[in-house]
Chains A and B, each alone.
Chain A
Amino acid sequence: MKKLMIVLLIASLLTSLLTGCFDRREVDELAYVMAIGFDKGKTNILKITFQIAIPKGMGGGGGEEGGGGGGGDKNSMVLSIEAPTLYSAINMANTTVSRQLNTSHAKAVVFSKEMAQQGIDRYIHTLIRSREFRPNMYMVVSRTSAEEFIKSVQPKLEGNPAKYYELTLNSYNYTAFIGNTQLINFYNAASAFYSNPVATLGGVNAFKSSKDFNLNDSTYTEKREKYPQEGDFRAGGITKYGELKTEFMGLAVFDGTKMVGELDGQETSYYLMATGQYNYAYWSIPDPKVEGYFILLNVKQSRKPERKVQMVDGKPNIHLKIRLEADILNIQSGVNYEDLKQLPVLEKSAEDYIKQGLQDMLNKTSKQYHTDICGFGAEEKRKFLTWEEWEKFNWLSRYKDSTFNVDVDLKVRRPGLLIRTIPSPTSEGNMEVQNQ
């Protein structure tokens, strides 16, 4: 018996060693794709762009190579191929790339706006079906071509583009200018019968130098404001100049898997608030008492939003209650809002400001884009007993008729290190602001 056991073990080990190793691939025999771009092809259906990490450039802390200093060292290469499908592109890429392409570390899928507007259903399914593509890749819609966008991703702080994608696309936690648009979230929202998906809007900065700055792409005029706030931009149009060309701001709004519109940074914040994904961000609220001054707040969402849907005459009436907390970062005007009597004034103005923005954003998505990106359908769905009824109800076609009832409750909690602001006295002697 013992002999049999041993022979069996050896035999199985041998067979596995002799015939085995089918799937064995050394780490250095693979080329790791960091980002995949989809464009319309000139000669073919698709133009696929791969961003492949170059491990040599990052070669660890070894003393010899260290120099570089982020200068000429390239840490990724970009490859564009025109092909009918994604997999044919991968195949074709390996005619020139020495290592087998492996997409298991891809961090971002970039669709050009043009592609997105035509619908990306079939490509999404490719990405979901294969085990190599990660469900937590980020969905990005580039306002320029995907190829150009990926080419422009040349991180300066990070050793490799993967980290750049991961960190920047996670920044919604503290900027609220983009959404959490992992592939799986996108796919879930796109296929469920109660919501529509969004993707992060990416773009390549248009300005060659800081002298070229203009506000052609800013949305502040739509909002009837005099000058743009920090969120009144979309990726690509931000008045910014620097070594980093790429930027992420705003959301691409989809109906099904067809892109129908864009949201700017601030609208994205409202979207995050309405869905409860908002974490915290800095806000500049116009001072209610002094024109041209701002009150800077660090606004957090204290609780999940309360969302209710009522059907009135077959039209959805949506109640949304947002609860926020804020810390004061600065009061430029020096008005003593910290005072308990003045505080409600500040809170009220901030509430109104946010409420107005929310209302505008919701109206825009429902009336203009006809898409329920905030997933209010989930609330209505609860009232149904069976799936059949719900499917017949066809929420997504009714959403465009919905009316919104937004309520914002903002409480200022902490004043920062200063408990009151005393404006510096000037030669004119008076503290002018106090008087008003």
Chain B
Amino acid sequence: MVNYIKNLKSLIFFEEPEKIEEFILKESNDEGKAEIKEAQKDSDRTPELKKRDRSIIKKPMSAASGNDSGEEQGENKEKDSNNKHQPSAVKPRENISTSVEENLRYMKDIFTVPDNGDIVIREFEITFKGKPVKAFIILIDGMTDRTVINSNILHPLMILSDKDFKTGEDDIGEFVKSRLLPHNQMKVTEKYQEVIDEINFGGCGLFVDGSKVAFAADVKGWLARGIERPNTELVLRGPQEGFNEILRANTALVRKILKDEDLIVENAKVGKRSKTPCSILYIKDIANESLVEEVKRRVNSIKLDYIIDSGHLEQLLEDDPYMLAPQIIATERPDRVAAALTDGKIAIIMHGSPFALVLPTTNNDLIHAAEDSYIRFPYANLLRCVRILGVFMSLLLPGLYVAITNYHQEMIPTDLLLAIVSAREKVPFPTVVEILIMEVAFELIREAGIRIPGPIGPTLGIIGALILGQAAVAANIVSPILIIIVAVTGIGSFAIPNFSLAYAFRILRFAYILLGASAGFLGITTGLFLQGVWLTAAKSFGVPFMAPFAPKTSGGFSDEFLRPPFWKQETRPDYVNPRDTRKQPKISRVWTQNNSEGDANE
């Protein structure tokens, strides 16, 4: 009750908004126009944190529930709370002990070893200066590569350590690292936590008695899906490989395309418990540095337990969670990521997700498909026009139909009008109800088609729609012309290359049906206006969502609504304020010049 009153009050009365400095994408200083502002003044308190603070203030938690919602608490506090991990009464320790026994005990506690079945601990001895030294490795079965461990870690340690080394290190740690382990990726650390993190992520921990450092070898070897065709973004022309769930494989796929040492793959970890590794990809001398800072700031400031998919990350990073249109593109295609990177955008690849996030995103990017730049420009432009038509049909067609048949009958050609009337003669519902029934039915078929297992899916989609439509017409529940409208709308929505956008339009379509039914074209225009204002006000990482149309950005970036020939796309999009605006020189096809042979080598 109190809540309702509060909500009502907040509606009527004005609350002074907190001053949160909005991120505005500044021009890069390399562009030589404006000075760069230092990223964020109130860096100690990020907006995310503030929001969370406010939510805490709003509903004070009871003492009992307080500890469960760990995400809201500072790191130190949580480390102190012993009753947090119920089974482990282990006191967290920081530095690795020199005693292997102690280490072993501690590791066993941490991983709850007798209970935890897939933890493998192998104890053995190393010969160091003629004396046997106790050691053990710890790893998680199934996540590691057995042969690598056997031949690169256990074999040299147990057998080769017997060899007579010419130079002798005093420190056993140094000795193991530089002499004994022929493995290429080794991490040497004094901290338990780092070793544990590595083990959790398919590494192999090595503890040696007498050493104050531990080793973590990267022996990841879990089973993963191979590189397959992307499922959601199919193209006829262009590369056919898609991302899989392995972070490094994915970054490698991008690097394979962009053979450029300026391509930076920065690591970040998201999720306090899941510690999911992410990579932030950008090209050092193209991407705007404040944009990179902002992305890093947002990614690093995220506080939560587990993160499974980049879909989660997208929802945590986007500017306006209430906006229907997606503000970050998720793509399965490495070539698309690479193309975006060369435009000065930033990509985030997350371990465990075959979808990379590309940002900032504008409305324009959402209706472009990967294929557009691979096929010749007249074809691409045809496709774009068709696609725009599809977008408008999927958004407006049912609404327009309702508006026209209910308010503007004079618009329909007389013959068609009479045909519609005679078709509707036996239909008992008003047009709005009729169209809502069909739209809902269609949505049902769509959803069921995805959920239904295996090969029945597509069949259900087609047969279901056909039979349902036919039967509905025969039963005089809907008129045949309406089936056409709904079907065309459905087809239109499949023509939208970005499936998130298609979802958005599927929702908005219902709004337009209602608006069309309430005031005809006036309602639809008002709807379009509201949507337009909403979209133009939106920003994706400081970039206006409707750029480059509204605001119109200067500069020669030309891959907007229609695409010019590839050799004419000379500049990068101005709205991401890249450091280097030019993609190719004025004349990129040097052979067209007379003296091309001489210039070819320059």
A–B touch (CB < 8 A): the answer is yes
Seen from chain A, the residues whose Cβ lies within 8 Å of a Cβ on chain B are: 1-7, 9, 13, 16-17, 20-21, 23-28, 30, 32, 34, 53, 55-56, 58-60, 102, 104-105, 107, 132, 134, 159-160, 162-163, 166
A55-B422, A59-B422, A105-B414 are contacts. A30–B409 as well, Cβ < 8 Å?
yes
Query: In the bound complex, do residue B530 and residue A4 qualify as a contact, i.e. CB atoms below 8 Å apart?
Result: no
CA distance A193 to B550 in the complex (A): 50
* 8 further interface pairs, Cβ-Cβ under 8 Å (given A23-B520, A160-B414): A16-B518, A17-B518, A27-B405, A28-B427, A58-B418, A105-B410, A163-B415, A166-B414
CA distance A199 to B4 in the complex (A): 70
Query: In the bound complex, do residue B518 and residue A20 qualify as a contact, i.e. CB atoms below 8 Å apart?
Result: yes
Considering only residues 366-398 of chain B, those with a C-beta below 8 Å from chain A are none
Considering only residues 473-489 of chain B, those with a C-beta below 8 Å from chain A are 480
A residues in contact with B519, CB < 8 Å: 16, 20, 23
A residues in contact with B520, CB < 8 Å: 23
CA distance A105 to B419 in the complex (A): 14
CA distance A254 to B396 in the complex (A): 48
Query: In the bound complex, do residue A32 and residue B414 qualify as a contact, i.e. CB atoms below 8 Å apart?
Result: yes
Query: In the bound complex, do residue B409 and residue A27 qualify as a contact, i.e. CB atoms below 8 Å apart?
Result: yes
A7 partner, pick from B11, B417, B511, B518, beta carbons under 8 A: B11
Considering only residues 405-425 of chain B, those with a C-beta below 8 Å from chain A are 405-407, 409-410, 412, 414-415, 417-425
CA distance A107 to B519 in the complex (A): 27
B residues in contact with A60, CB < 8 Å: 419, 422-423, 480
**Interface core residue of B406, B407, B427, B511 (most chain A CB under 10 Å):** B406
A55 partner, pick from B11, B421, B427, B530, beta carbons under 8 A: B421
Considering only residues 13-40 of chain B, those with a C-beta below 8 Å from chain A are 17
CA distance A282 to B570 in the complex (A): 61
A58 partner, pick from B422, B431, B517, B530, beta carbons under 8 A: B422
A residues in contact with B280, CB < 8 Å: none
3 shortest A-B CB distances, which residue pairs?
Answer: A104-B410, A16-B518, A55-B421
Instruction: Write out, one digit per residue, whether chain B residues 313-332 have a CB within 8 A of any chain A CB (1) or not (0).
Output: 00000000010000000000
A residues in contact with B515, CB < 8 Å: 13, 16
A2-B322, A3-B11, A9-B530 are contacts. A28–B518 as well, Cβ < 8 Å?
no
Name 26 interchain pairs, CB-CB below 8 A, sorted by A: A4-B11, A9-B530, A16-B518, A24-B407, A24-B517, A25-B407, A25-B409, A26-B405, A26-B424, A26-B430, A26-B431, A27-B405, A28-B425, A30-B421, A32-B414, A32-B417, A55-B421, A55-B422, A58-B422, A59-B425, A60-B419, A60-B480, A105-B410, A159-B415, A159-B418, A163-B415
Query: In the bound complex, do residue B418 and residue A160 qualify as a contact, i.e. CB atoms below 8 Å apart?
Result: yes
B residues in contact with A28, CB < 8 Å: 421, 424-425, 427
CA distance A26 to B420 in the complex (A): 11
- Judged by a CB distance under 8 angstroms, whether B116 is at the interface is no
Instruction: Write out, one digit per residue, whether chain B residues 500-517 have a CB within 8 A of any chain A CB (1) or not (0).
Output: 000000000001001101
CA distance A134 to B409 in the complex (A): 13
Closest to A56 in B: B422
Query: In the bound complex, do residue A27 and residue B424 qualify as a contact, i.e. CB atoms below 8 Å apart?
Result: yes
Query: In the bound complex, do residue A58 and residue B11 qualify as a contact, i.e. CB atoms below 8 Å apart?
Result: no
- Judged by a CB distance under 8 angstroms, whether B185 is at the interface is no
Closest to B320 in A: A2
A residues in contact with B419, CB < 8 Å: 55, 58, 60
**Interface core residue of B322, B410, B424, B425 (most chain A CB under 10 Å):** B410
CA distance A16 to B414 in the complex (A): 30
Query: In the bound complex, do residue A3 and residue B7 qualify as a contact, i.e. CB atoms below 8 Å apart?
Result: yes
Min CB distance B3 to A, Å, is: 13
Considering only residues 506-558 of chain B, those with a C-beta below 8 Å from chain A are 511, 514-515, 517-520, 523, 530
A residues in contact with B595, CB < 8 Å: none
**Interface core residue of B415, B418, B514, B523 (most chain A CB under 10 Å):** B418
- Judged by a CB distance under 8 angstroms, whether B184 is at the interface is no
Query: In the bound complex, do residue B518 and residue A55 qualify as a contact, i.e. CB atoms below 8 Å apart?
Result: no
Query: In the bound complex, do residue B415 and residue A21 qualify as a contact, i.e. CB atoms below 8 Å apart?
Result: no
- Judged by a CB distance under 8 angstroms, whether B10 is at the interface is yes
Min CB distance A190 to B, Å, is: 24
B residues in contact with A58, CB < 8 Å: 418-419, 422
- How many residues of B are in contact with the other chain, CB < 8 A? 35
Min CB distance A160 to B, Å, is: 6
A residues in contact with B418, CB < 8 Å: 32, 53, 55, 58, 159-160, 162
B residues in contact with A13, CB < 8 Å: 511, 514-515, 518
A residues in contact with B410, CB < 8 Å: 104-105, 132, 134
A7-B11, A104-B409, A105-B410 are contacts. A27–B518 as well, Cβ < 8 Å?
no
Query: In the bound complex, do residue B406 and residue A24 qualify as a contact, i.e. CB atoms below 8 Å apart?
Result: yes
B residues in contact with A26, CB < 8 Å: 405-406, 424, 430-431
Closest to B407 in A: A23
B residues in contact with A23, CB < 8 Å: 407, 519-520
Query: In the bound complex, do residue A105 and residue B17 qualify as a contact, i.e. CB atoms below 8 Å apart?
Result: no
Query: In the bound complex, do residue B422 and residue A25 qualify as a contact, i.e. CB atoms below 8 Å apart?
Result: no
Min CB distance B324 to A, Å, is: 12
**Interface core residue of A1, A16, A102 (most chain B CB under 10 Å):** A16
Closest to A9 in B: B530
**Interface core residue of B322, B414, B520 (most chain A CB under 10 Å):** B414
B residues in contact with A27, CB < 8 Å: 405-406, 409, 412, 417, 420-421, 424, 431
A residues in contact with B430, CB < 8 Å: 24, 26
**Interface core residue of A7, A20, A27, A58 (most chain B CB under 10 Å):** A27
CA distance A53 to B412 in the complex (A): 15
Closest to A1 in B: B17
CA distance A43 to B407 in the complex (A): 37
A residues in contact with B424, CB < 8 Å: 26-28
A residues in contact with B405, CB < 8 Å: 26-27
Query: In the bound complex, do residue A163 and residue B414 qualify as a contact, i.e. CB atoms below 8 Å apart?
Result: yes
Closest to B410 in A: A104
Min CB distance B145 to A, Å, is: 50
Min CB distance A4 to B, Å, is: 6
A residues in contact with B530, CB < 8 Å: 9
Min CB distance B426 to A, Å, is: 9
A2-B322, A56-B425, A104-B410 are contacts. A160–B415 as well, Cβ < 8 Å?
yes
B residues in contact with A17, CB < 8 Å: 514, 517-518
CA distance A32 to B420 in the complex (A): 13
Closest to A61 in B: B419
CA distance A111 to B320 in the complex (A): 64
Min CB distance A166 to B, Å, is: 8
CA distance A323 to B427 in the complex (A): 58
Query: In the bound complex, do residue B517 and residue A105 qualify as a contact, i.e. CB atoms below 8 Å apart?
Result: no
Query: In the bound complex, do residue A6 and residue B406 qualify as a contact, i.e. CB atoms below 8 Å apart?
Result: no
Min CB distance B586 to A, Å, is: 47
Closest to A131 in B: B410
CA distance A199 to B511 in the complex (A): 48
A1-B17, A6-B322, A7-B11 are contacts. A25–B406 as well, Cβ < 8 Å?
yes
CA distance A7 to B322 in the complex (A): 13
Min CB distance A109 to B, Å, is: 16
A residues in contact with B11, CB < 8 Å: 3-4, 7
CA distance A199 to B214 in the complex (A): 104
B residues in contact with A162, CB < 8 Å: 414-415, 418
Query: In the bound complex, do residue B518 and residue A3 qualify as a contact, i.e. CB atoms below 8 Å apart?
Result: no
CA distance A334 to B422 in the complex (A): 56
CA distance A197 to B268 in the complex (A): 83
**Interface core residue of B7, B409, B422, B424 (most chain A CB under 10 Å):** B422
A residues in contact with B422, CB < 8 Å: 55-56, 58-60
Considering only residues 428-481 of chain B, those with a C-beta below 8 Å from chain A are 430-431, 480
Min CB distance B110 to A, Å, is: 43
Min CB distance A159 to B, Å, is: 7
Min CB distance A183 to B, Å, is: 15
Closest to A58 in B: B418
